Chains A and B, each alone.
Chain A
Amino acid sequence: MKYLSAAFLLLALLFVSCEDDEDPFTDGEVELQMNFTGDFDGRDLMVQSEAYAYPGGGQLKFQLFQYYVSDLQLVPADGGDPVILSEIELIRYASATEDNVESRTFTVPSGDYSAVRFGLGVKPALNNTDPNNFSANDPLNENEFWNANARYVFAKIEANADLEGDDIFDAPVTIHMGSDALYRTVTLSQDVSFRPGTDAELTVVADIFQAFGGNSDTYDLTVPANRRVHGGNQNVAAGVFNRLAEQFKLTR
Chain B
Amino acid sequence: MPYRILFLLVSLSLASLSACGPDPEDDAQPVCPECPGEPTDPLITGPSVATDYELEIAEYMPRPILDEDNPLTREGIELGRRLFYDKIMGRDSAFACADCHRQERAFTDGRTLAVGVDGREGRRNAMSLVNLVFNGSGFNWDGSSVKLWEQAVHPVENMFEMDEDWANVLERIRGSDDYPQRFRATYGIDRRSEITQELVVKAIAQFESTIISADSHFDRVFFKNTEFFTEEEQLGADSLFFVENVPVGALHPGCGHCHNAPSFGDNRFKNNGLDDVASLDDFRDKGFGAVSGSKFDNGKFRTPTLRNIALTAPYMHDGRFTTLAEVVEHYADGGHGVENEDPNITGFPLTERKKRALVAFLNSLTDEGLLTDPRFSDPFE
A236 near B65 with CB under 8 A, answer: no
Q: Which residues of A contact B (CB under 8 A)?
A: 3, 47-49, 61, 63, 95-97, 131-138, 141-143, 145-147, 149-150, 158-160, 168-170, 172-174, 176, 224-225, 228-233, 236
Candidate in A47, A49, A141 with the most chain B CB atoms within 10 angstroms: A141
A132 near B60 with CB under 8 A, answer: yes
Query: Nearest chain B CB to A130's CB is how many angstroms away?
Result: 8
A228 near B263 with CB under 8 A, answer: no
Look across to chain A and name the residue whose beta carbon is closest to the beta carbon of B289: A96
Which one of B98-106, B200-208, B318-326, B340-348 contacts A?
B340-348
Point out the residue from A63, A136, A147 that lies within 8 Å of B242, measured CB to CB. A147
Which one of B22-30, B152-160, B178-186, B244-252 contacts A?
B244-252
Q: A170-B337, A230-B246 are in contact. Are A136 and B263 (CB under 8 A)?
A: yes
Query: Nearest chain B CB to A60's CB is how many angstroms away?
Result: 11
A interface secondary structure, majority: mixed
B263 near A160 with CB under 8 A, answer: no
A132 near B65 with CB under 8 A, answer: no
| Bound: A133/B59 CA distance, A | 8
Look across to chain B and name the residue whose beta carbon is closest to the beta carbon of A168: B337
B116: A residues at CB distance < 8 A: none
A49: B residues at CB distance < 8 A: 294, 296
Point out the residue from B63, B254, B260, B266 that lies within 8 Å of A133, measured CB to CB. B63
| Bound: A166/B245 CA distance, A | 34
Please name 28 pairs of A and B residues whose Cβ atoms are closer than 8 Å in the assembled complex, sorted by A: A48-B296, A49-B294, A95-B292, A95-B297, A96-B296, A97-B292, A132-B262, A134-B62, A135-B64, A135-B65, A135-B134, A136-B266, A137-B65, A142-B260, A142-B261, A145-B260, A147-B244, A160-B337, A160-B339, A172-B342, A172-B344, A173-B343, A174-B253, A174-B343, A174-B344, A228-B250, A230-B254, A233-B247
A143 near B268 with CB under 8 A, answer: yes
Query: Nearest chain A CB to B375's CB is how many angstroms away?
Result: 22
Point out the residue from B59, B248, B296 that lies within 8 Å of A225, measured CB to CB. B248
B242 near A131 with CB under 8 A, answer: no
| Bound: A136/B248 CA distance, A | 30
A135 near B242 with CB under 8 A, answer: no
Query: Nearest chain A CB to B268's CB is how many angstroms away?
Result: 7
Query: Nearest chain B CB to A96's CB is how many angstroms away?
Result: 4
